[in-house]
Amino acid sequence: MKKDNKYFSDGFTIVELLVVIVVMGILVTIVVISYQGISGRAIAGTLQSDLKNATTRLALDKSTSDDGNYPATEEAANGGLGLPKSPDTDYDYSITSGEYCISATSISTGAVYHVTSEDGAVVEGDCAGGAGAPPAGGGLAFDGQEDYARVPSSAGLNIVNNLTIETWVYPSSVASDNDWRTVVGKLEGGTGGYEMGVDVDQSVMYFDVQVAGGIVATDYTFPALDEWYHVVGTFAAGPDMKLYVNGALVDDVEQTFGGGPFSGNLTTSSKPLYIGGDPVDSSYCPREFAGEVDEVRIYNRILGGTEVGEHYASTFTNESNLVGLWHFDEGSGTTITDSSGNGNNGAIVAPASGSYAMSFDGSGDYVTVSDSASLDLTGEFTIEGWIKRDSVSQLSDYRLIIGKRNSSWPEDVYGWLTDTDFGGLISCSNTEGECSLGFSQSTNGAFMFSSPNTINEWHHFVTTYNYAADRDTIYWDYDSNGSTSTWANVIAGDGVLYIGGNGSGSGIAPYDFAGDLDEVRFYGKELPANIVRLHLLGDFSQDATGCGGASCDLRAHWAFNEGSGGTLVDSSGNNNNGVISGNPQWVSAESGAQRVTH
pLDDT (0 to 100) of residue 420: 28
Per the CB < 8 A criterion, the answer to whether 150 and 274 are in contact is: yes
Kind of pairing between the strands at 514-523 and 554-558: antiparallel
pLDDT (0 to 100) of residue 460: 84
Q: Where are the alpha helices (DSSP H) in 118-255?
A: none
pLDDT (0 to 100) of residue 178: 52
Residue 37 DSSP symbol:
H
Sign of CA dihedral 55, 61, 64, 68: negative
> Residue 220: which H helix or E strand, with range?
strand 214-221
Query: What is the spatial distance between Cα 159 and Cα 234, in angstroms, rounded to a whole number?
Result: 12
CA dihedral 440, 445, 449, 453 (to 10 degrees): 60
Per the CB < 8 A criterion, the answer to whether 166 and 321 are in contact is: no
CA proximity to 120, closest of 230, 249, 313: 249
Query: What is the spatial distance between Cα 480 and Cα 462, in angstroms, rounded to a whole number?
Result: 9
pLDDT (0 to 100) of residue 575: 97
> Residue 224: which H helix or E strand, with range?
none
Task: Using alpha carbons only, give the angle 303, 306, 308 rounded to the nearest 5 degrees.
Answer: 50
Per-position pLDDT tens, the chain of length 598:
333 443 334 555 665 666 556 556 555 444 443 344 455 678 878 888 999 999 999 999 998 888 889 998 888 888 888 888 999 998 888 887 788 888 888 888 777 888 888 777 787 777 654 346 888 889 999 888 767 898 988 999 999 999 999 999 999 876 544 567 899 999 886 688 999 999 877 788 999 998 887 888 889 888 888 888 999 999 998 788 999 998 888 888 888 776 767 778 888 888 889 999 887 654 544 478 889 999 999 999 999 998 998 898 888 999 999 999 999 999 887 889 999 999 999 988 776 556 789 998 878 899 999 999 999 888 898 989 888 877 655 444 566 778 776 665 444 444 433 222 233 344 433 333 334 444 333 344 444 555 555 567 778 888 888 889 988 788 877 666 556 666 667 767 777 888 887 765 434 544 677 788 999 999 999 999 889 988 887 789 999 999 999 999 999 999 999 999 999 999 999 999 999 999 999 988 766 778 888 7
pLDDT (0 to 100) of residue 14: 67
pLDDT (0 to 100) of residue 419: 28
Query: What is the spatial distance between Cα 571 and Cα 22, in angstroms, rounded to a whole number?
Result: 67
Query: What is the spatial distance between Cα 312 and Cα 295, in angstroms, rounded to a whole number?
Result: 11
pLDDT (0 to 100) of residue 339: 97
Amino acid code (one letter) for 424: G
- Please state the φ and ψ torsions of residue 136, each to the nearest 5 degrees: -60, 140
SS3 204: strand
Q: Going by C-beta distance under 8 Å and a sequence separation of 6 or more, which residues neighbour residue 175? A: 144, 290
Q: Going by C-beta distance under 8 Å and a sequence separation of 6 or more, which residues neighbour residue 7? A: none
pLDDT (0 to 100) of residue 139: 93
Per the CB < 8 A criterion, the answer to whether 144 and 290 are in contact is: yes
Partners of 381 in the β-ladder: 465
pLDDT (0 to 100) of residue 10: 54
Burial 161-185 (b: 16+ CB within 10 A, else e): ebbbbbbbbbbbeeebebebbbbbb
What are the DSSP calls for 163-201, one per residue? Answer: EEEEEEEEE-SS--S-SEEEEEE--BTTTB-EEEEEETT
Query: What is the spatial distance between Cα 364 and Cα 302, in angstroms, rounded to a whole number?
Result: 57
Q: Going by C-beta distance under 8 Å and a sequence separation of 6 or more, which residues neighbour residue 350? A: 334, 386, 458, 589, 590, 591, 592
Query: What is the spatial distance between Cα 300 and Cα 215, in angstroms, rounded to a whole number?
Result: 20
CB-facing half-sphere around the CA of 131: CA atoms within 13 A: 18
